[in-house]
Amino acid sequence: MTQQRPIPQFAVIPGAQVHSVLSGNEKHTLDLVAATYRVHGEGATVNPPSYFLRFPDRPSSRIIALPASVGGDTPVDGIKWISSFPENVASGLPRASAVLVLNDPATGYPIACLESSIISAARTAASAALAADLLCAGRPRPRRVGFIGTGLIARHIHTYLARTGWEFDEVGVHDLSAEHAAGFRAYLERADPERSDPQRPDAERPTPEGAGPADTGEAGAGAAPRITVHASAEELVRSSDLVVLATVAAAPHVTEPSWFSHNPVVLNVSLRDLAPEVLLASANVLDDVEHCLKADTSPHLTEQLTGNRDFVDGTLHEVMAGRVAVPTDRPVVFSPFGLGVLDLAVGRFVYDELAARGELAVVEGFFHELDRYGRNTRQP
């Protein structure tokens, strides 16, 4: 008689538990993302094209399915199901929401469903912080960072930079919504322990005479970084050595290569802000070439314009492996499409950590028919 495999239990992991595992573990998450890029670069993953569910009556919205499989020492299969509804922002809701389903590689049975907007933001931020480390390695460490777009992803990227060793003299902010820009500036002020320390003589100092209304003090050794809300994207780019693009833009709006004449590193996280002309004047590093060159991303538009992929210098894994040298005499743009294997790796870490703590919320009786011939079918 065939011996039946034990059926894994099924757990539901809410966002509060996901946050409890990932918050404070930013360095470990970054290392996990780096390890997953290596596994992916070595061909030990399966990461099919994402499937986009679009709606004729809601053209700006979409839900994306990202199936994937990760090999290596901690194998896991699964799928992320993430929605993007930009109209949510006007009502105060985050644009994206997501769940992640993990499957047991031995049986194929799902073992968990995790709230995944935090996982998605964490793996995106870890990928961006990793890219910043690698792409800035051959140049002076940037001391001026600028954020175009001020939502959940921008906040997570700032958190991951701050908690993995980055320090800045200046932080620039630009958003089409003055309210959103002000909210992000308030977050930055709360996030900086120097600003929140009432014992610091400069913690609540007034704005220096002659400074603009958005300035928050002079930068200097030991001081909190100066935060400036910029009126235009051009102003922010020109004043930043590390630029983070985290918008909901559907088409390029940053079109002038001369804005980048000071050769910054650009984290093109939202993928559609930059015109092809900017990419053609820059070195370009992608997370995965085939995935990035589709869906009218900035790299895809550049390929359509030129008819080739010569503008692509390589992948982040190739930089990690020393097979691609990063230039310092021109801008460097990192464009990550966002690989499902990263979500799975981070989600598996969350699952394993909660299991080790004994905190998994298992749904008893989730699987009904556990025998091929109905011999052990649970009765209501």
Q: How many CA atoms lie within 13 A of 340 on its CB side?
A: 27
Please give the Cα distance from 285 to 132 (Å, whole number): 11
- Check residue 265 and give its pLDDT: 98
Confidence tier at 191 by pLDDT (50, 70, 90): confident
Residue 113's DSSP bridge partners are 12, 101
* Alpha carbon 282 to chain centroid, angstroms: 22
SS (H, E, C) 297-320: CHHHHHHHHHCCCCCEEEEHHHHH
| Contact indicator for 266, 243 with CB cutoff of 8 Å | yes
pLDDT digits over 295-354, tens only? 899 999 999 999 999 999 999 999 999 999 999 999 999 999 989 999 999 999 999 999
pLDDT digits over 83-142, tens only? 999 888 888 888 889 999 999 998 899 999 999 999 999 999 999 999 999 999 999 999
**Which of 62-71, 219-228, 356-365 shows the lowest mean pLDDT across its residues?**
219-228
Q: Is the pLDDT of residue 166 over 90?
A: yes
Q: Give the pairing type, strands 76-84 and 96-103.
A: antiparallel
- Check residue 298 and give its pLDDT: 98
- Check residue 3 and give its pLDDT: 61
| Contact indicator for 298, 268 with CB cutoff of 8 Å | yes
pLDDT digits over 199-220, tens only? 433 333 333 333 333 444 444 4
Please give the Cα distance from 246 to 267 (Å, whole number): 9
Q: Is the pLDDT of residue 146 over 90?
A: yes
Give Cα separations from 134 to 34, 129, 139 (angstroms). Answer: 11, 9, 10
Smallest CA-to-CA distance from 350 within 116, 45, 130, 129 is with 116
Identify the burial level of 176 via C-beta atoms within 10 angstroms of its C-beta, where 0-12 means exposed, 13-18 middle and 19 or more buried.
middle
- Check residue 8 and give its pLDDT: 72
- Check residue 103 and give its pLDDT: 96
Query: DSSP secondary-structure letter at 28?
Result: H
| Contact indicator for 245, 298 with CB cutoff of 8 Å | no
Residue 286's DSSP bridge partners are 315, 335
| Contact indicator for 128, 225 with CB cutoff of 8 Å | no
Crossing angle of helices 117-135 and 152-162, in 10° steps, is 50
Give Cα separations from 159 to 106, 124, 128, 187 (angstroms). Answer: 36, 12, 11, 10
pLDDT digits over 239-292, tens only? 999 999 999 898 999 999 999 999 999 999 999 999 999 999 999 999 999 999
**pTM for this one?**
0.88
- Check residue 213 and give its pLDDT: 36
* Alpha carbon 234 to chain centroid, angstroms: 23
The torsion region of residue 72 among left (phi > 0), alpha (psi -120 to 50) and beta comes to left
Please give the Cα distance from 50 to 82 (Å, whole number): 11
- Check residue 220 and give its pLDDT: 45
Ordered structural domains, the chain, with CATH? 11-119+340-357 (3.30.1780.10), 139-197+223-335 (3.40.50.720)
